[in-house]
Amino acid sequence: MAGPLRSHWSDQIAVARILFLSAVLTEPVTAGDTTGTSFDVIHRQDDALGWIAYPDEKMERASYALTDSDRDGIWLVDPVDCDGLDELLRPRGPVLGVVIALDRHKRDAVAIATRHEVPIYRPTWMQSIDDDLDGPVRALGGELGATGFELSKRIDNRFWKEVVLYRPSDATVYVPESVGAAAYFCVGDEPVGVHPMLRLTPPAELTDRPVERLFMGHGHPIGTDATEPLVSAIDTARQRFPGLLKQLLSSRLG
């Protein structure tokens, strides 16, 4: 049965990939065209600010500004630019750097870093993206300044490079892509779901530590008691995979 079962899941993954790419990644991306944009602030506390620049996009690309307690400034993580962004950020101090936490999340890093005259930062092992970035690029070590966030490698292969940010002091985590809260991640009423491409190999290590707040690169954050929904999403990722396929197909067919 192992052979037919493996083939069955491989076929479903292939279908999910086609549906995901056609339904989401082919949607026009509006980043860079900031005229008349109305962004949503999705999180606002002293230590972190989150926004979705284009709330009507299916991808619901979320960005965060994390406060550096030593330098009285902020680090921007996977930012998407929009009209009014600088005014939103200004009360939190100068931008210290722009961080890319997923190789595909270059987004508006170059434009924002250039405007604020700061470097772009990425993990030491993500150097393959450097040639695609016009401007100074610096490597991050194991921590993000004095934000309290530690960096841990989640995926590192030719197709997907992702780092997770975790702060032990208050169990806050930022996951760029492995899990998300945008509609195409979630099945039914899930507040967070595993990425369609990872449903058969869910990121179980994300549940190794407590998670109070869950920031994600897509969709709204979970601002408190995030451990239970995250564990549920990962534990039921395979079980709910057929439902996600059906949902993606229905969305594509309109």
* Structure tokens, 16: 């999910």
Nearest CA among 126, 134, 128 for reference residue 155: 126
CB of 254 within 8 A of CB of 58? no
What is the mean predicted confidence (pLDDT) over 22-45?
62
Q: Residue 40: beta bridge partners?
A: 52
Q: Which segments of the chain does DSSP mark as H helices, in order? A: 2-20, 85-89, 109-116, 227-235, 241-253
Give the chain's mean pLDDT.
Answer: 88
Domain total of the chain: 1
Q: Which residue has the higher pLDDT, 27 or 78?
A: 78
Residue 57 has pLDDT above 70, yes or no: yes
Could you tell me what percent of the chain has a pLDDT over 70?
84
What range does the domain containing 89 cover? 2-253
Alpha-carbon distance of 202 to 40, in angstroms, equals: 29
Phi, psi of 172 (to 5 degrees): -100, 135
Q: Which residue has the higher pLDDT, 134 or 25?
A: 134
Q: Are strands 120-123 and 95-99 parallel, antiparallel or unpaired?
A: parallel
DSSP one-letter string for 112-163: HHHHHT--EEEETT-GGGGGG--S-EEEE-SB-TTS-PEEEEEEESSS-EEE
Alpha-carbon distance of 31 to 127, in angstroms, equals: 23
Residue 62 has pLDDT above 90, yes or no: yes
Nearest CA among 19, 56, 60, 27 for reference residue 252: 19
pLDDT band at 11 (very low <50, low <70, confident <90, very high): low
Query: ∠ CA 89-177-106 to the nearest 5 degrees?
Result: 55
Q: Is 78 helix (H, G, I), strand (E, B) or coil?
A: coil
Alpha-carbon distance of 25 to 236, in angstroms, equals: 25
CATH number of 31's domain: 3.60.15.10
* Structure tokens, 54: 């284009």
What stretch of H or E contains 225? Answer: none
* Structure tokens, 40: 């949503």
Identity at 167, one-letter amino acid code: R
